[in-house]
Structure 1
Amino acid sequence: MLGAILTANSLELNLGLSINSLLNELSPHLLAADSASGGEEKATIAALVGTAGIIFIFSVILGEICTRLKLPTVLGDLVAGMLLGGSVLGLIVFSSEGVEVNTTLLRGLEVITGASSGIVEQAYRFQMKDFLDESANIGLLTLLFTTGLESNLKELIRVGTQAATVAITGVFVPFVLGTFVLIKLFGIATIPALFAGAALTATSIGITAKVLQDIGNLKSDEGQIILGAAILDDILGIVVLAVVLSLVQTGEIEISNIIYLLTSATLFVLGAVFLNNIFGSMFVKAVKKINNPAALMLLAIVFLNACSLLATAIGLEAILGAFAAGLVLGETEFQEKLQGLFEPFIFVYTTIFFVTIGAKVDLSVLNPTVAANHKGLIIAACLIVIAILGKIVAGFAVFTNKPINKLAIGTGMIPRGEVGLVFAGLGATTGALSNSLDAAIIIMVIVTTLIAPIMLRFVFPSSTTSDNSEEYAENSETDCVPVSKFN
């Protein structure tokens, strides 16, 4: 059904191709009984169904725990993946060597399907892995598309230069400082260092907006600057991601190539922003002319696919096209309907995406009792410090004659949330990041996401929080950037 996907190897996202690839993975086992034994078919189906059930059960339980603790539910998915992965329970294993699949699970599947242990393990390691990878890729594309849908361009224009100053500083400082420290202090190769530095750039809109709403500062000057800067952060972060991914693809760092990628990516996004009225009105007219209840969804997929293909054609990553498609359609009268239509994909596929990110984390590299892990732990600590200080510095980049809480602005930019996890997931998928560096990024995401809500409650005056919380919460839906459903 969907129309664009990021494949595991080429990172060219095409949802339509993705669904076809999923069906191609399943069809030999569902339809071609003459080419495989009944036990193999049953083992494959049982592995897929069982894995999906386990993922959603753990996601619901840990998500509920996070909700009760007033933490973003995306952390529940991440922790669920870590528990289910090869480092703990061994229920979801992506490595073909060195990691054992949970023996109790395998024995259970053998009893249910009647297949041999070898067939069951092969189905669980390979067919299940391919299915989860494809589903996670759909989740990634859907996440970026809906992020574009939720980006309020009018609000972004209103806060203007103040938000732009914070956003640019908040991207530049952590990226440059993080990359420099990783290369000079830890001797990490340039491309992995660039990837890790890029993971420090973007701010989670959803986490920050939810906390500001809770404490009654969503409509304050500081709150609006934070949200506007967070939107710009997402755009700039995705541009940086597209450039770094292209460098990973070529394996070379050439100034001319970097200039081309930066220029084309920037022009691509700016084109989507400034031409959204033209493309948006064409989309609305097309939907209204077709007397088909599925027209809105289908044309949205076509538009998403077209933007993704265009991005790919000019040498960018298709994820940038998906984000741009969301920006354009988010300014049309169908914005809310589209969010509702894509909501099922969000809840299903992005859950799989975040759980698989957690499952791929090798927690053993964080064991402090192992001498070989000490470097990775030090890297994680450095990334956390850079992630926090880089955004606080950005808050003090605001230039205004009005009295404003610059520390609060910088603090509001700290949480990385789902955006940082996207970087970590793609870094692991492309092989750009080592296990220790990937784990360090995920630890950075967890720590910044956990401490930002606590810090925000301290840096904003308590009087504002207590007096205005209800009013801001009531009006926030119409006046401010929508809160991500993941947080």
Structure 2
Amino acid sequence: MQFLGAINFSLPLLASATETADSSMVLAAVLLSLVVIYLASKVGGELSNRFGLPPVLGELVSGVVVGVSVLHLLVFSEGGTDSNLIITFLQGTAGLSPDAAAGVFAAQSEVISVLAELGVIILLFEIGLESNLKDLMAVGIQASVVAVVGVVVPFTAGTVGLMTLFGIDALPAIFAGAALTATSIGITSKVLSELGRLSSREGQIILGAAVIDDVLGIIVLAVVASLAKDGAVDVSKVVYLIISASGFLLGAIALGNFFNKSFVAIADKLKTRGELVIPAFIFAFVMAYLAAAIQLEAILGAFAAGLVLEETDKRKELQKQVIPIADMLVPIFFVTVGAKTDLGVLNPAIPSNREGLIMATFLILVAIFGKVITGFVVFGQPGINRLAIGVGMIPRGEVGLVFLGIGSSIGILSKPLEAAIIMMVILTTFLAPPLLRIVFPDSEAVGVASELILNTSGTPLAVESPTAINSKSNDAANPEATPDGH
């Protein structure tokens, strides 16, 4: 699952920052940041691909290298540091004064964060375009079971374990347990797409479970945040979230039954450039806005929009047109996630980190096994790769950092517990891509699949059809698809 608030941004803050900063210097800082992001993305992705790993892992690692943990090239103002080599470079080459540096730094951080947020919205829209609604509904019961178990088990184990083993008070323990419930749909879906497994039964169950996980996570976050702020749970708000989330998804599915033909008819009448992709993005952004307006997550609306448009006759053409846009914005999201990851919490020389390391070990074990077990509750699917389903639910990504950020802002988390949550997020995020590669050992054989889809990196990617999966033989699939090296 993903949250819109995963990468914090504030339009009022952006406005105030740009008012006090030279706009030309802000633009220069943003352009240099994008140069760093794109270089890091390509170098990391290519190296990862050369070693037979999903390129998204390389993008995340390269983000760590250029971010706050190593080179300090891509640093964000909310991280509590002013050590930004891009701003220092501008001071030395473009005459940026020290007084103006803080305003430029804040504005640059906000712009990159907004672009990263837009990138994940487009990513989920594209994932929706690649996902077949009928296939998702076919695994709906299994996905629901996986999602519920994936929320209940780690939440319960984490909360009880922190209270009994480490003597943590109930409220911070509950908050840390809530951070264990998240699943980063963006990272997992990107890896599945690169491996050619997004349309497999396993991929569809993971994707469906991650969407349901998103809804459950929103509810858990609302309950825990309400408990932390007020000391009591606002039952009416919880009921509202459940009803609005369920109604939104069901409404989006129902919308697809009559919107498809209207969308195609409108696109056919438009004759200027962008006659297909612009209406599609208008629809995606409206759906994202509606989701955010009813206190859900914007990416949930973008994903629903992709599901609706996947049913149209223009699907493949639209996928091709979305690819270049995704290639420009999606890497910003993944590199930014890595850049915001502070590996300093792994330093055992710092006393507070030692206690955090012990708690982190416990949280990591709960985070991994609490999700891996979900694959083994799938029923009625003979021959399915249950381990792959569990592994696909592991990454917390920036979603876990949302829980951490809210807990820190409320002031209920100790420094060791904060460090433990950060380490849990780091390891689950970076472990999942290579582990998915391992649990799908025959990913190279996907090149003989029966259907071509377009992956988020912009190259044709072959995906197994359910028929080919059920027969356990890819040799009989359509030979026109060719592997792309992922």
Distance 2:36 2:270 in 1: 41
Q: CA deviation at 1:403?
A: 5.5
1:386 corresponding residue in structure 2: 366
CA contact (8 A) 2:175 2:407 kept: no
Describe the superposition over 1:331-376 as per-residue Cα deviations: whole angstroms up to 9, x where unpaired.
2122223323332332222212222222222221111232211333
SS of residue in 1 equivalent to 2:71: coil
CA contact (8 A) 2:67 2:73 kept: yes
Q: Does 1:189 align with 2:172?
A: yes
Amino acid at match of 1:112: T
SS of residue in 1 equivalent to 2:449: helix
CA contact (8 A) 2:323 2:457 kept: no
Q: Does 1:364 align with 2:344?
A: yes
Q: CA deviation at 1:41?
A: 5.2
CA contact (8 A) 1:379 1:440 kept: no
| 2:37 paired residue among 55, 71, 91 | 55
CA contact (8 A) 2:128 2:305 kept: yes
Distance 1:275 1:263 in 2: 18
SS of residue in 2 equivalent to 1:90: coil
SS of residue in 2 equivalent to 1:361: coil
2:388 corresponding residue in structure 1: 411
CA contact (8 A) 1:383 1:444 kept: no
Amino acid at match of 2:191: I
Q: CA deviation at 1:184?
A: 5.6
Q: CA deviation at 1:269?
A: 1.0
1:473 corresponding residue in structure 2: 447
Q: Does 1:110 align with 2:91?
A: yes
Amino-acid identity (%): 33
Amino acid at match of 1:232: G
Amino acid at match of 1:404: G
Q: How does 1:331-480 map to 2 (within 5 A)?
A: 331-400=311-380, 404=383, 408-416=385-393, 420-424=396-400, 426-427=402-403, 436=419, 437-457=421-441, 465=442, 470=445, 472-478=446-452
Going from structure 1 to structure 2, the CA distance change for 1:429 and 1:145 (only over 3 Å counts) comes to farther
Q: CA deviation at 1:25?
A: 8.8
Going from structure 1 to structure 2, the CA distance change for 1:292 and 1:97 (only over 3 Å counts) comes to closer
Distance 1:356 1:21 in 2: 19
Q: How does 1:45-444 map to 2 (within 5 A)?
A: 45-95=27-77, 99-101=81-83, 108-119=89-100, 121-122=101-102, 124-159=104-139, 161-162=141-142, 164-181=144-161, 185=165, 187=168, 189=172, 192-193=175-176, 195-200=178-183, 204-208=188-192, 210-211=194-195, 224-244=200-220, 246=222, 251=229, 253-400=233-380, 404=383, 408-416=385-393, 420-424=396-400, 426-427=402-403, 436=419, 437-444=421-428
SS of residue in 1 equivalent to 2:391: coil
Describe the superposition over 1:261-294 as per-residue Cα deviations: whole angstroms up to 9, x where unpaired.
1232122112222442222233222222333442
Going from structure 1 to structure 2, the CA distance change for 1:483 and 1:247 (only over 3 Å counts) comes to farther
Query: Unaligned 5+ residue runs, structure 1?
Result: 12-17, 30-35, 458-464
Distance 2:78 2:207 in 1: 39
Q: Which moved more, 1:362-371 or 1:165-174?
A: 165-174
Describe the superposition over 1:179-206 as per-residue Cα deviations: whole angstroms up to 9, x where unpaired.
5545665536267435412324758234
Q: CA deviation at 1:53?
A: 1.0
Going from structure 1 to structure 2, the CA distance change for 1:72 and 1:379 (only over 3 Å counts) comes to farther
Going from structure 1 to structure 2, the CA distance change for 1:259 and 1:197 (only over 3 Å counts) comes to farther
Amino acid at match of 2:426: I
SS of residue in 1 equivalent to 2:271: coil
Distance 1:197 1:424 in 2: 7
> What is the root-mean-square deviation in Å for CA atoms of aligned residues?
3.8
Distance 2:32 2:331 in 1: 16
CA contact (8 A) 2:60 2:337 kept: yes
CA contact (8 A) 2:18 2:26 kept: no
Amino acid at match of 1:227: G
Amino acid at match of 1:243: I
Distance 1:238 1:362 in 2: 25
**Size of the alignment, in residue pairs?**
440
CA contact (8 A) 2:202 2:388 kept: no
Going from structure 1 to structure 2, the CA distance change for 1:484 and 1:341 (only over 3 Å counts) comes to closer
Distance 2:144 2:284 in 1: 27
Distance 2:163 2:131 in 1: 34
Superposition TM-score, scaled by structure 2 size: 0.76
Going from structure 1 to structure 2, the CA distance change for 1:302 and 1:190 (only over 3 Å counts) comes to farther
CA contact (8 A) 1:280 1:332 kept: yes
Describe the superposition over 1:419-442 as per-residue Cα deviations: whole angstroms up to 9, x where unpaired.
732414544665668752234212
CA contact (8 A) 1:177 1:386 kept: yes
Distance 1:309 1:255 in 2: 25
Distance 1:451 1:116 in 2: 47
Describe the superposition over 1:388-425 as per-residue Cα deviations: whole angstroms up to 9, x where unpaired.
3234322322334x8636xx3133431358x7324145
Describe the superposition over 1:202-221 as per-residue Cα deviations: whole angstroms up to 9, x where unpaired.
5823434655x5xxxx69xx
SS of residue in 1 equivalent to 2:322: helix
CA contact (8 A) 2:30 2:111 kept: yes
Query: Unaligned 5+ residue runs, structure 2?
Result: 459-485
Q: Which moved more, 1:420-429 or 1:78-87?
A: 420-429
Distance 2:440 2:97 in 1: 55
Distance 1:308 1:56 in 2: 26
